[in-house]
Structure 1
Amino acid sequence: MREKILDILCQVCGSEEIRENPDVELYETGLLDSFGTVQLLVAIEEELHMAIPISEIDREMWATPHKIIKFIEERR
């Protein structure tokens, strides 16, 4: 699951830095923005068959790849 989420993040963010540094601050570094968050949610729904309402997401919860992975794994 972890690798699949990292693949999705790398694709949405357009950077392998996510895989190299899973503690990178996605929003602070500009790797992810609000539009990217929507793209990420759509990709997660399509590839993992898991719907996550945008209302359940905030920047602190999804600040790093590690936090996103943890959030998704806890929901499975």
Structure 2
Amino acid sequence: MQEQIINILADTTGRDAADFSDASQDLFTSGLLDSMATVSLLLGLQDEFGVQVPVSEFDRSQWNTIEKIEQRVKELQNA
């Protein structure tokens, strides 16, 4: 699942997948993810994993690392 998330992030941001090699790195403070890319990320996760994340309910602190994104996606899939 992490590889799929990294690919979505790379596609969303136009960066190389290697930029996302540290799954615990804060994507926002590192500048790898911004608010516009976040919307694209959520749409990519919806398409890839079938999860719904309303932007209005998005809490940046719960989605700021690849590890947290993976955890949230799994929680949403099991909901």
Provide the residue aligned with 1:37 in structure 2: 38
* Matched positions, count: 75
Aligned to 1:66: 67
Matched residues in 2 for 1:26 and 1:56: separation? 18
2:25 is paired with a residue whose SS is coil
Taking structure 1 as the reference length, the TM-score comes to 0.84
For each residue in 1:33-70, what CA deviation from the matched residue of structure 2 results, as whole angstroms up to 9, or x when unmatched?
Answer: 10010000111122222221112212111111111111
CA RMSD in angstroms, aligned pairs only: 1.4
- Where structure 1 has 5 or more consecutive residues not aligned to the other structure, the ranges are none
More helix by share: 2
Deviation at 1:21, TM superposition (A): 0.7
3-state DSSP class of the match of 2:61? coil
Identical aligned pairs, as a percentage? 35
Moved over 4 A (4+): none
Does the CA-based 8 Å contact 1:2-1:69 persist in structure 2?
A: yes
Q: Which amino acid aligns with 2:49?
A: L
Aligned-residue offset at 1:15 = 3.1
| Structure 2: gaps of 5 or more residues | none
TM-score normalised according to structure 2 size? 0.81
Q: Which residue of 2 aligns with 1:50?
A: 51
